[in-house]
């Protein structure tokens, strides 16, 4: 079966005026996943079984709460809590404890809590598609000259997504193409990081009274753009 590629959303994101098109793609997937979670889907047993098991990370719990569907949120959290309480009672009551050790063995409990804290229904839902978005970038860069020049003249990426582009490149590209892709990506990342660094530097200089009558140049929004580069928080998310 041919793997599905997402050329349309990838091309759309690279056409956007932003400091990281991959952040823009992630945000879109995130918005859809939150809408899905708080839509009619939470009344479906198989979906609820997943939210019961995984729960939400802190960021996505806040986004779910922001939808303001208090009944829906309460229903989801209630059955999630019922499951946790049942599981923890079972683990701590020793029904699963080996009688061989005299010392209490808490490893099962610790692993359960760790797994619970690291799982999130929304992160999980985004993950698969997001990986394929990155694969699509590699694919388009290799096959589509128009995209390749769009990529090279883009405003670069946040550090997290720059890392993903580099890390996953060797699974999707090979030989000379891989080398050139890495070169292109390093260049477009660092040049644009330096551009924003310069904007931020002028933003700081503007606080000096000697510069107060000089133009802002591109520095007025340097701070939110630096936050996008450094922390993957897109301008839209900061509004």
Calpha distance 173→141 (Å, rounded): 10
23 is a site residue for Zn ion (CB under 5 A): yes
104 phi-psi bin (left φ>0, alpha ψ -120 to 50, beta other): beta
Structure tokens of 136?
Answer: 């699509």
CB 191 within 8 A of CB 225: no
Calpha distance 208→201 (Å, rounded): 12
Q: How far is the CB of 33 from Zn ion (least distance, A)?
A: 9
CB 119 within 8 A of CB 127: no
Q: Which is nearer to Zn ion, 41 or 177 (CB)?
A: 41
Q: How far is the CB of 148 from Zn ion (least distance, A)?
A: 20
Where do we find the tokens 């694919």?
139
Q: Return the residue of 37, 136, 192, 232 that touches Zn ion, per CB under 5 A.
A: 232
Q: How far is the CB of 218 from Zn ion (least distance, A)?
A: 20
Q: Which of 57, 55, 63 is nearest to 38 (CA)?
A: 63
Per CB under 5 A, the segment of 56-64, 69-77, 101-109, 189-197 that binds Zn ion is: 56-64
Binding mask 174-213 for Zn ion (x = CB under 5 A): ----------------------------------------
Calpha distance 218→196 (Å, rounded): 9
Per CB under 5 A, the segment of 79-87, 111-119, 153-161, 201-209 that binds Zn ion is: 153-161
Structure tokens of 25?
Answer: 């793609």
Q: Which of 126, 115, 120 is nearest to 57 (CA)?
A: 120
22 is a site residue for Zn ion (CB under 5 A): yes
Q: Which is nearer to Zn ion, 91 or 192 (CB)?
A: 192
Q: Return the residue of 10, 34, 55, 60 that touches Zn ion, per CB under 5 A.
A: 60
122 is a site residue for Zn ion (CB under 5 A): yes
Chain residues that interact with Zn ion, rule: CB under 5 A: 20, 22-23, 57, 60, 120, 122-123, 158, 161, 232
């Amino acid at each position: 079966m041919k793997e599905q590629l997402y050329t349309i959303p990838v091309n759309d994101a690279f056409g956007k005026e932003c400091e990281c098109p991959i952040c823009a793609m992630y945000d879109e997937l995130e918005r859809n996943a939150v809408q899905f979670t708080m839509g009619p889907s939470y009344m479906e047993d198989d979906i609820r079984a997943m939210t019961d098991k995984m729960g939400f990370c802190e960021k996505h719990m806040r986004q779910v709460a922001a939808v303001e569907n208090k009944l829906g949120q309460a229903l989801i959290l209630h059955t999630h809590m019922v499951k946790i309480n049942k599981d923890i009672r079972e683990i701590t009551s020793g029904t699963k404890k080996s009688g061989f050790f005299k010392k209490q063995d808490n490893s099962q409990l610790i692993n359960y809590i760790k797994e619970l804290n690291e799982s999130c229904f929304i992160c999980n839902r985004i993950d698969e598609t997001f990986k394929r978005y990155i694969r699509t970038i590699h694919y388009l860069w290799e096959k589509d000259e128009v995209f390749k020049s769009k990529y090279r003249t883009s405003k670069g990426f946040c550090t997290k997504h720059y890392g993903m582009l580099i890390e996953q490149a060797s699974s999707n590209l090979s030989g000379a193409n891989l080398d050139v892709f890495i070169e292109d990506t390093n260049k477009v990342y660092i040049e644009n990081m330096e551009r924003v660094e310069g904007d931020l530097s002028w933003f700081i200089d503007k606080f000096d009274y000697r510069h107060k009558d000089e133009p802002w140049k591109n520095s007025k929004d340097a701070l939110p753009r630096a936050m996008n580069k450094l922390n993957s928080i897109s301008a839209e998310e900061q509004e």
